[in-house]
A and B are shown apart, each in its own frame.
Chain A
C-alpha cells in the first residue's frame, strides 16, 4: 500500500498520470478524493435516507452528514437508524426499508460489476444469464431502487471490464432502458452520479449518456478513456474533483476511518 498520506506529501504515485503529474495532491490520497466525491452525491438531499454500499461510500455518507448534509438518515447496516454517535434513533427492518425505497425518500449508492453508457447496472451474473460464466449476487434490489429513488454507483476499480458497452443482465435500470419502458419506469428514475477510483461521472448530456464530470487529481482524461469500454462524453476543460477541507480530512482520518479501510479499497 503506497498511500499513507501524511508520510508521502505531494507524491504522485500514478506512473501513468502524464500531463497532470504536476497536480499537487497536498498529501490527499486517491481514496480520500473518492470519499469526497461519494459524499458530494448526498449534498442537498435534505432529510432522506442515505444508503451507501461499500466502505468508501459509507465513509462518504457519514462525512456528508457530519458536515454539509446534517439532516441525512443513516443505518447501522442492519435494522437500526443511528445518529452520528451510533445511538439508535429509529427502526428500519428490511420490510420497512423496502417501503421507504418505494416512497422515494432515499438515495442509494450501489456497487456495479458492470455499468454501461446509459447507466444500466449489473451485479447479477457475467455471460449468458441462462448459464453464466460467472454467477454473482443476483439483481438484489437494483430494479426497485432504480425505479423509485435516486441511485448512484461506486466502482473502486475503473476498467473496461466494468464500464462495458452492454451489461449482461440489467438489474439497475439505465436511462435508455427506462425511456424504452415508459412513464412507469421514468417517473422517479434518476442516476445522479457514478464515482470510480478515477473520477466522477454523470448523465448530463442530451442523450443521457455518461459524461466525465470530474477527474480525481493525478488522473488524466486519457487514462479514463482507456479504462472505459464505451464512448464517454468528455467536455472541454474537465475539472478536478474538489479538495477536501482540512476539517474534512481530519474527520475522515481521525473519526470516520482511523483504521484506513479506505486505502484498502482504493490505493494510491
Chain B
C-alpha cells in the first residue's frame, strides 16, 4: 500500500486551470476548506466547479476562479444566502448550470458508473429545463403497467470530474477515508466520479485505528479512488465537521459581512498556519 500523504499545497499543485473540480460536503458542512484555501494560493483558475455549494463556491467565486458552476444551490445554512455567490451571479460573472439536488446526485452516480446519463423524474416541467437547453430527455422503452404510458425523464448527463476535493474526519495514509458525523453527504460519490481525488482529514491514523472505535460502515472512501491524503486538523473550518468541531458561526458571520478584499487580506494572505493564527487572534478580539 503506497503512502499517499502530502501537503495541501502539494495536492492543489496537481490541479490545472480549466479543470472540472468536484467539491464535497454540503452547504456549510464538512467542506474541504483547507484545500480550497490552498487552491486560492495557486494561480489555478477558469474552473468548472461541481458542488452542493457553500463557502467553497463563495470564496472561489469571489476570487474569480470559477468559469462555470454546476450546483442546485449555494448557502451558508445558518445564513441562507451565500453573499459572494450572490454577488457573482448578480454581476453576471459566472456561468451556471442550475439543477435540482437529486439531478445533481444522479449526475455524480452516472459518472461513478461510467454511464453517459441516468434517467430522473426531477426537472421535468420546471425551469431547470429552460435554463439548461443542453439537457435532453429519454423515453422509457417499457410501458407503465397501470397507465400504459411510456414516461419521459430527464437524461441527467454524467458529471465527470477531473478532480475531487473532500474532507473527512479520519483517513489512513493509503487513502481509506472515514466520516464520524451524522451524514456522509456525497463525498464517496465525488471521489468515484473523479479521475483523481484528494482527501483531507482531521487526523491521519493507522489503518487498524479506523475500526477500533467506529464500525466499518463509517469507512466511506476507498483508497483505490484516492490520489492524495492531506492531514488538515480544522481543515473544514469555518464549516461544521461533527464530531470534531461545530461550525464557527461567529467567524462565518464575519465572512458573510466583511468585504471580500479585506477578508482575503486579513485571513488568506499567508499559509494555513497563518490562517489559523489570524482566526484565533480575531476570536480573542471578540472576547
Contacts and interface: CB of A to CB of B under 8 A. Distances in A.
Interface stretch (B33-41, B148-156, B276-284): B148-156
B102 A98 contact: yes
A129 interface: yes
A183 B74 contact: no
Nearest to A124: B98
A187 B161 CA distance: 34
A259 interface: no
Given A135-B81, A138-B74, A187-B151, A95 B126 contact: no
A181 B154 CA distance: 12
A163 to B, nearest CB: 18
Given A137-B75, A184-B151, A93 B183 contact: yes
Contacts of B124: 143, 147, 173, 181-182, 184-185
Interface stretch (B86-94, B196-204, B222-230): B86-94
Nearest to B99: A139
A131 B94 CA distance: 10
Given A93-B184, A182-B152, A183-B151, A101 B90 contact: no
Contact of B182 (A78, A133, A172, A178): A78
A141 interface: yes
Interface in B41-88: 53, 71-75, 80-81, 85-86
B131 interface: yes
Contact of A95 (B53, B105, B125): B105
B103 interface: yes
A139 B73 contact: yes
A119 to B, nearest CB: 12
Interface string A14-33: 00000000000000000000
A183 B149 contact: yes
A132 interface: yes
Q: Which of A134, A137, A181 has the most CB of B within 10 A?
A: A137
B100 interface: yes
Interface string A160-187: 0000000001111100011011111101
A79 B183 contact: yes
Contacts of B80: 137
Given A94-B185, A124-B98, A170-B126, A138 B103 contact: no
Given A131-B89, A141-B102, A143-B103, 8 more contacts: A91-B182, A124-B98, A137-B74, A138-B71, A139-B128, A147-B125, A148-B121, A148-B122
Interface of B: 26, 53, 71-75, 80-81, 85-86, 89-92, 98-103, 105, 120-128, 130-131, 147, 149, 151-153, 182-186
16 contacts: A94-B183, A94-B185, A102-B102, A129-B98, A130-B92, A131-B92, A135-B86, A138-B73, A138-B75, A140-B72, A140-B73, A141-B101, A143-B124, A143-B126, A170-B126, A181-B124
